Chains A and B, each alone.
Chain A
Amino acid sequence: MTPLAAFLVVAALVFAIGLAIALTRRNAILVLIGIELMLNAANLNLIAFWRFSPHANRHNDGLTGMMFAIFSIAVAAAEAAVGLGLVIAYHRHTKTTDLDAMTRMKG
């Protein structure tokens, strides 16, 4: 059986890659993808910890971790939809998705 640490390492890698993308990319869509990666890394952690927890098979609260992950995925989907909608709407007005150009809200 694959040890817990392997999952955590993979999740950490995915999170790091996502963070790197979010920080370095100037394209809004790529930043969204980076955020998505980070979220999924967190989901991976949730599932991994659930799988290795001592109560994993109990019926009463055995599905807690799983439900948490599914909930998180649903929230991420909604977030992605809203985020993409914003980016598309912004693109319609200004013909750009460059984050550095999005300074309209500057006080």
Chain B
Amino acid sequence: MIACSASLMTAWEARESISIPTSWIVANLWLIPAVPMAAAGLIALLKQPRRKTAAALSIGGLSFSLLLAIVAFAHVLTAWGQGTETREVVNFNWIDLGATHLQLGWILDPLAAVMLVMVTFVGLLIFIYSTGYMAHDENFTRFFCFLSLFAGGMLGVLIANSLLLLFMCWEIVGLTSYLLIGFWYHKPSAAAAAKKAFLTTRVGDIFFLLGMVWLFAQTGTLLFYNNGAGAMEPVALATLLSHPAALGLSAATAIGLLIFAGAAGKSGQLPLHVWLPDAMEGPTPVSALIHAATMVAAGVYLVARVYPLMSAGAAAGGSTVSLTVVAWVGALTALFGALVAVAQNDIKRILAYSTVSQLGYMMVGLAVGGVAVGMFHLITHAFFKALLFLGAGSVIHGCHEEQDIRRMGRLRIAMPLTFLTYSVGMLALSGFPIFFSGFWSKDAIIGAAHAWPISQGPFVLLLLGALLTAFYMMRQVAYVFFGSWRGPHHTHAHESPLAMTLPLSILAAFAIGLGLLGTPAWPWFTSFIESKSLSVDMHAFSEPGLLPLMGFAILLVFAGLGAGWWLYAVRPIENADQKDALEQASPTVFGWLANRLYFDELYEATVLRWYAVLAWLSDWLDRRLWGGVVTAVSSGFRSLGLVNKSVDSQWIDGTFDKGCEELVTGGGVLAWLQAGRTPGYLRILTLGVVVLAGLALVVGAVTGQVRL
């Protein structure tokens, strides 16, 4: 980080004329992800038994981030209030590649600010909850190390002003997700689920990476905003629109779709949703934090971040190809998740499919209503889904690690606080009118889908989804909290400790209160995200079509809740082996739903079979074809080697040996001469002198210079 800030300083000086971050918080926004990451590093260096230190470091680090996030939020709020620019960026050169520069940077705008506060706040509550939930786990410190690393990566995704930085943090998040799903790796199912999650999201990430590379090739930048030179700004978007890709699509559409594929992988959209329910093998706080509230929302956030690209070239009141795809995928996912959730019996799996479904709602919201509509549901969902998961964790904890709702029952007596908060979460998720946040955010999406000019298909799918959502949540609550106790007779459920119930209560308060920020009369959230002015306007309710639509949605919610109550609570479920009411009615349909519409089996029969065939083919080719070629080549080389060998031994070695012998003999003579005996030297010297003198005499006599 020191190096980072040093390079930042130089980059800053170079760019001084372009943008000067005005405040301390914008310049030091990087601290928000850096502090939890540093905490993770410190925990990793700790010795195993120091649980309190690990928990304190994690919670302290994230609290610091929360403080900074609130300061950042206040900063954006002030800018909004004063009507000044609410988007501020800090960019710096990361790698210079000759003439091109790879730039990274961070951004503070309403979108990032809201998400930062949400993630740090929900994250902190879940951290506190984890100290209670994981209290008896022997790998407590490792758990908090991963949690902190996750928080750092997630916050990095949020502040990234560069697709590259976002991608790097995105991968950190993917890694920690893998580590945490497989936290109890001695369970084979957990290890398999971790692998499945990692590989499935990797499929999406490949497309994301392709889109990123393409974007860089077309625009030469991966920054979102850079004073007009960023990839999300008009100049670059115009370039992208004018470049045709295949099938009559522009490069902007193609890149948008590629990036959406990455987002779909992370956010569990069809057809890459298969990993998310399996991810529930991880500890429940992980399910709450990563696989319900924050990480899966990263895909939605990514789409919101690249929204200018997605919507580039849309005519007024129209839509683009990429947004249409997003809307349909989201709507199908929303209905699919809700359908499957109806027939699940694992308390966490129901919530997992509900998450898949709600993420679909968010995607539709983004596609049909714009950033604010989708993001509002993301924020409210984060709170009530975290609440539901933590409540489910509390139930599981209280029932001694039992997850099957058929073996629970009547828990409203034993766990009153959990029951109360869970009901709040359930009503918020179902979209119970007026008082619960889920109602307002979901209604905004349904309303926007109704107004969508392209097709009414998503609207119908979403309405069906809303009906089913209310139904399956009622079913779950009836199973868990009503009826009679169906667990083993000798055990008794107990209420969870304060470290777990306190976060539940806080989250419940938010699940109710947050809705007030996004009512049609006072659309605070939308105005904030879009940096528009805000006023209370009660006439918004009297807009034509708004109230009838709202009324119809409410009717559906009540229908769903009523049907659930009538089927599962009016006649209390007495026996754990009793067949589900729906299963009695139609075993085939229920079987399909219980088996998740056979998506896993489909993948097993297609993708996995295909891979198996491919692997078998590769194996056969390896053994027969390539093996034969390799053997032929190798035997050729072997015979060549034999020839070589004989040449070597006969010619080269022989010559060499001979030379060596000569050298040895000569060396022996020289050694004898250089025996170190001084008289010997003297004699040779004398001999030489005598010879020289004799020579001189003879030569002199012959030439006549010496007369004898």
Query: Which of A53-61, A74-82, A98-106 forms part of the interface with chain B?
Result: A98-106
Query: Which of B20-28, B546-554, B679-687 forms part of the interface with chain A?
Result: B679-687
By a CB distance below 8 angstroms, the chain B residues around A106 are: 674-676
Beta-carbon contact of B678 and A99 below 8 Å: yes
CB-nearest residue of chain B to A34: B682
Beta-carbon contact of A102 and B676 below 8 Å: yes
CB-CB contacts below 8 Å: B626-681 with A: 671, 674-679
Beta-carbon contact of B675 and A23 below 8 Å: no
Report the bound CA distance from A106 to B682 in whole Å: 15
Could you give, for residues 1-41 of chain A, a 1 whenever the CB lies within 8 Å of some chain B CB and a 0 otherwise?
Answer: 00000000000000000010011001010010000000000
By a CB distance below 8 angstroms, the chain A residues around B678 are: 28, 31, 99, 102
A34 nearest CB across to chain B (Å): 9
CB-nearest residue of chain B to A28: B678
Beta-carbon contact of B686 and A105 below 8 Å: no
Partner of B682, one of A23, A103, A105: A23
Beta-carbon contact of A107 and B686 below 8 Å: no
Report the bound CA distance from A38 to B679 in whole Å: 16
Interface centre among B674, B677, B679, B682, by most A CB within 10 Å?
Answer: B679
By a CB distance below 8 angstroms, the chain A residues around B671 are: 107
By a CB distance below 8 angstroms, the chain B residues around A23 are: 679, 682-683, 686
By a CB distance below 8 angstroms, the chain A residues around B686 are: 19, 23
Given known contacts A19-B686, A23-B686, A103 and B675 CB-to-CB distance under 8 angstroms: yes
Partner of B679, one of A19, A99, A104, A105: A99
Partner of B676, one of A19, A22, A31, A103: A103
By a CB distance below 8 angstroms, the chain A residues around B679 are: 23, 26, 31, 99-100
B417 nearest CB across to chain A (Å): 96
Report the bound CA distance from A99 to B679 in whole Å: 7
Report the bound CA distance from A104 to B674 in whole Å: 11
Could you give, for residues 86-107 of chain A, a 1 whenever the CB lies within 8 Å of some chain B CB and a 0 otherwise?
Answer: 0000000000000110111111
By a CB distance below 8 angstroms, the chain A residues around B677 are: 99-100, 102-103
CB-nearest residue of chain A to B683: A23
Report the bound CA distance from A58 to B683 in whole Å: 42
Beta-carbon contact of A107 and B674 below 8 Å: yes
Report the bound CA distance from A103 to B682 in whole Å: 14
Report the bound CA distance from A106 to B671 in whole Å: 8
By a CB distance below 8 angstroms, the chain B residues around A104 are: 676
Beta-carbon contact of A107 and B682 below 8 Å: no
Report the bound CA distance from A100 to B683 in whole Å: 13
Report the bound CA distance from A26 to B430 in whole Å: 119
Interface centre among B671, B675, B678, B686, by most A CB within 10 Å?
Answer: B678
Report the bound CA distance from A73 to B677 in whole Å: 28
By a CB distance below 8 angstroms, the chain B residues around A107 are: 671, 674, 676
A56 nearest CB across to chain B (Å): 24
Report the bound CA distance from A71 to B677 in whole Å: 31
By a CB distance below 8 angstroms, the chain B residues around A28 are: 678
By a CB distance below 8 angstroms, the chain B residues around A31 are: 678-679, 682
Report the bound CA distance from A1 to B45 in whole Å: 107
Report the bound CA distance from A28 to B683 in whole Å: 15
Report the bound CA distance from A28 to B677 in whole Å: 12
19 A/B residue pairs, CB under 8 Å, sorted by A: A19-B686, A22-B682, A23-B679, A23-B683, A23-B686, A26-B679, A31-B678, A31-B679, A99-B678, A102-B677, A102-B678, A103-B676, A103-B677, A105-B676, A106-B674, A106-B676, A107-B671, A107-B674, A107-B676
**Which residues of B pack against A, CB within 8 Å?**
671, 674-679, 682-683, 686
The 5 closest A-B pairs by CB, nearest first: A106-B676, A103-B676, A99-B678, A105-B676, A99-B679
